């Protein structure tokens, strides 16, 4: 099972308890007809941990129920690793039923990368695939200003008909304190 988890990007699950609000948001998303769930907030607010824990349980249940699980069932990809994954197994990014992209940022890549990312997001926008994205950005800010790939990507991810945006505010360093930067 460990080899399968590594292939799915789930080899290291943090031993933390995630806020119930994030766990509940993921469960509601999975039961909805929405295509995208965007968890956004400052660093250290359990976004990645919540997604990894959910995907781990999802993969484990698939394995127990069907005796197998693959990248076409679910996949966790760090945003900075997307170029590598595109080279190794691009088809899996399009075909996986549940894709999680961790730590989306809007800088540091060539324009061709943004075109490929928009193509992936647009494909998953039009197909019955689920996508969870974590980011430090409030994507609605990218909807203001000039039209570019950031705007086009954000417009898909912020479509209220197909997306749910959930702020993550509980800081793991001080769980009783809400992050003030949001």
> Based on the number of CB atoms within 10 Å of its own CB, is 152 exposed (0-12), middle (13-18) or buried (19 or more)?
middle
User: CATH number of the domain at 2-12+34-167, please?
Assistant: 3.40.50.300
Judge contact between 140 and 159, C-beta under 8 A.
no
Q: Give this prediction's pTM.
A: 0.89
Q: Where are the domains of the chain?
A: 2-12+34-167
Phi then psi dihedrals of residue 128, to 5 deg: -80, 60
DSSP symbol at 127: T
Give the C-alpha separation, 107 to 98, whole Å: 25
Q: Where is mean pLDDT largest: 28-32, 146-150, 177-181?
A: 28-32
Q: Is the pLDDT of residue 174 over 50?
A: yes
Q: For the segment 90-120, what is each residue's pLDDT rounded down to a tens digit?
A: 999 999 999 999 999 988 888 899 999 999 9
Cα gap 23→54, rounded to integer Å: 8
Beta-carbon contacts of residue 181 (< 8 Å; ≥ 6 apart): 42
Mean pLDDT of 27-40: 96
Q: How many CB atoms lie within 10 A of CB 144?
A: 8
Give the span between the Cα atoms of 142 and 153, in whole angstroms: 9
Per cent of the chain over pLDDT 90 is 62
Tell me how far the alpha carbon of residue 108 is from its chain's centroid: 19
Give the C-alpha separation, 39 to 50, whole Å. Answer: 10
């Amino acid at each position: 099972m460990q080899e399968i988890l590594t292939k799915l990007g789930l080899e290291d699950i943090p031993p933390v308890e995630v806020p119930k609000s994030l766990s509940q948001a993921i469960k509601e998303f999975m039961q909805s007809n929405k295509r995208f769930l965007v968890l956004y907030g400052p660093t250290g607010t359990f976004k990645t941990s919540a997604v990894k824990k959910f995907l781990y349980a999802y993969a484990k249940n698939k394995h127990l129920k069907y005796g197998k699980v693959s990248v076409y069932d679910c996949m966790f990809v760090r945003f900075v690793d997307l170029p590598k994954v595109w080279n190794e197994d691009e088809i899996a990014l399009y075909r996986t039923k549940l894709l999680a992209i961790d730590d989306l940022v809007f800088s540091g890549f060539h324009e061709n990368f943004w075109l490929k990312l928009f193509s992936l997001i647009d494909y998953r926008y039009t197909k019955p695939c689920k996508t969870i994205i974590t980011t430090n950005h409030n994507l609605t800010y990218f909807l203001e200003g000039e039209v570019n790939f950031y705007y086009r990507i954000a417009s898909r991810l912020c479509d209220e008909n197909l997306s749910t945006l959930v702020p993550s505010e509980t800081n793991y360093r001080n769980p009783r304190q809400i992050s003030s930067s949001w």
